[in-house]
A and B are shown apart, each in its own frame.
Chain A
Amino acid sequence: MPDTISKAMSNLPKLRELVVLSGKGGTGKTTITASIATLSKDLVLADCDVDAADLHLVTNPTVITETKFFSGKEAIVDASKCSGCGLCEAACRFDAFQAQIDGTYSISPIHCEGCGLCVRLCPENAIHFEPRDCGKWMVSNTRFGPMVHAQLHAAGENSGKLVTVVRKEAKKIAEEHGQSLILVDGPPGIGCAVISSVTGADAVLLVTEPSLSGIHDLERVTSLASSFEIPVYVCVNKSDIDPRITETIREHTIENGHTFVGTIPFDEHMVQAQLQGLSAVEYIEGETRDRINQIWENIWTTW
Chain B
Amino acid sequence: MRVAVASGKGGTGKTFVTVNLARTYNNPILVLDCDVEEPNTNLFLKGDLINERPSTILVPQVDESPCDGCRICAEVCEFNAIAVIAGKPLIFEDLCHSCGACATFCPQDALQEVEHVIGTVIERKSDSIRLIEGQIHVGKALAVPIIRDVKKESEKADEDMVLLDSPPGTSCPMVWTIGDADFVILVAEPTAFGLHDLQLAVETVEEVGIPFGVVINKDGIGDDRVEKFCTRHQIDIIARIPYDRHISEVYARGGDILEEYSYQVLFENLWQVIQQKVESQEVIHA
Contact of A242 among B169, B208, B253 (CB under 8 A): B253
B56: Cβ under 8 A from any A Cβ: no
Task: Please indicate the chain A residues that have their CB under 8 angstroms from the CB of B76 in the complex.
Answer: 116-117, 120
Residues 132 to 161 of chain B near chain A (Cβ within 8 Å): 136, 138-143
B105: Cβ under 8 A from any A Cβ: yes
Residues 200 to 230 of chain B near chain A (Cβ within 8 Å): 200, 203-204, 207-208, 221-223, 225
1/0 contact string of B67-102 vs chain A (CB within 8 Å): 000000000101100000000000000000111110
B245: Cβ under 8 A from any A Cβ: yes
Contact B10 A156 (CB under 8 A): no
Provide a sorted-by-A list of 9 A–B residue pairs whose CB atoms are within 8 angstroms: A52-B169, A57-B192, A72-B78, A115-B99, A116-B76, A188-B38, A227-B138, A227-B139, A275-B223
B53: Cβ under 8 A from any A Cβ: no
A154-B200 contact in complex given A116-B101, A212-B40, A212-B252, C-beta closer than 8 Å: yes
Best-surrounded residue of B12, B169, B171, B208 (most CB of chain A within 10 A): B171
Task: Please indicate the chain B residues that have their CB under 8 angstroms from the CB of A193 in the complex.
Answer: 171
Interface residues in chain B, defined as those with a beta carbon under 8 Å from any beta carbon in chain A: 8-12, 15, 35-38, 40, 43-44, 76, 78-79, 97-101, 104-105, 136, 138-143, 167-175, 179, 189, 191-193, 196-197, 200, 203-204, 207-208, 221-223, 225, 245, 248-249, 251-254
Per the bound structure, the CA–CA distance linking A194 and B160 in Å amounts to: 36
Contact B15 A213 (CB under 8 A): yes
Best-surrounded residue of A209, A223, A227, A275 (most CB of chain B within 10 A): A275
A262: Cβ under 8 A from any B Cβ: no
- Which 6 A-B pairs rank lowest in CB-CB distance, beginning with the nearest? A25-B10, A26-B11, A115-B99, A189-B37, A51-B169, A211-B252
1/0 contact string of A111-135 vs chain B (CB within 8 Å): 0011111001100000000000000
B interface: dominant SS: loop
Per the bound structure, the CA–CA distance linking A83 and B135 in Å amounts to: 41
A173: Cβ under 8 A from any B Cβ: no
A188-B10 contact in complex given A93-B98, A154-B204, C-beta closer than 8 Å: yes
Excluding A155-B207, A195-B139, 6 further A-B contacts by CB distance (< 8 Å) are A58-B192, A73-B78, A91-B104, A194-B37, A212-B252, A242-B252
Contact A191 B142 (CB under 8 A): yes
Contact of A57 among B104, B173, B196 (CB under 8 A): B196
Contact A155 B170 (CB under 8 A): yes
A23: Cβ under 8 A from any B Cβ: yes
Contact A191 B136 (CB under 8 A): yes
Per the bound structure, the CA–CA distance linking A110 and B175 in Å amounts to: 8
**Stretch with Cβ within 8 A of B (4 or more), from A4-12, A99-107, A266-274:** A266-274
Residues 186 to 209 of chain A near chain B (Cβ within 8 Å): 187-195, 209
Q: Which residue of B lies closest to A73 (CB)?
A: B78
A113-B99 contact in complex given A152-B170, A213-B40, A275-B192, C-beta closer than 8 Å: yes
Contact B43 A213 (CB under 8 A): yes
Per the bound structure, the CA–CA distance linking A51 and B193 in Å amounts to: 13
A84: Cβ under 8 A from any B Cβ: no
A216-B40 contact in complex given A25-B11, A154-B207, A211-B252, C-beta closer than 8 Å: yes
Contact A54 B171 (CB under 8 A): no
Per the bound structure, the CA–CA distance linking A160 and B173 in Å amounts to: 13
Smallest distance from the beta carbon of A35 to chain B beta carbons, Å? Answer: 14
Contact B97 A115 (CB under 8 A): yes
A220: Cβ under 8 A from any B Cβ: yes
1/0 contact string of A59-87 vs chain B (CB within 8 Å): 00000000000001100000000000000
A250: Cβ under 8 A from any B Cβ: no
Per the bound structure, the CA–CA distance linking A91 and B35 in Å amounts to: 28
Smallest distance from the beta carbon of B171 to chain A beta carbons, Å? Answer: 5
Residues 37 to 61 of chain A near chain B (Cβ within 8 Å): 51-52, 54, 57-58
Per the bound structure, the CA–CA distance linking A30 and B225 in Å amounts to: 20
A274-B192 contact in complex given A26-B9, A110-B208, A213-B15, C-beta closer than 8 Å: yes
Contact B170 A156 (CB under 8 A): yes
Per the bound structure, the CA–CA distance linking A26 and B40 in Å amounts to: 14
Per the bound structure, the CA–CA distance linking A57 and B254 in Å amounts to: 32
Contact of A220 among B38, B101, B143 (CB under 8 A): B38
A113-B97 contact in complex given A188-B38, A274-B193, C-beta closer than 8 Å: yes
Contact B9 A211 (CB under 8 A): no
Residues 209 to 245 of chain A near chain B (Cβ within 8 Å): 209-214, 216-217, 220-221, 223-224, 227, 241-242, 245
Contact A217 B40 (CB under 8 A): yes
Contact A52 B136 (CB under 8 A): no
A277: Cβ under 8 A from any B Cβ: yes
Task: Please indicate the chain B residues that have their CB under 8 angstroms from the CB of A94 in the complex.
Answer: 99
Contact A211 B141 (CB under 8 A): no
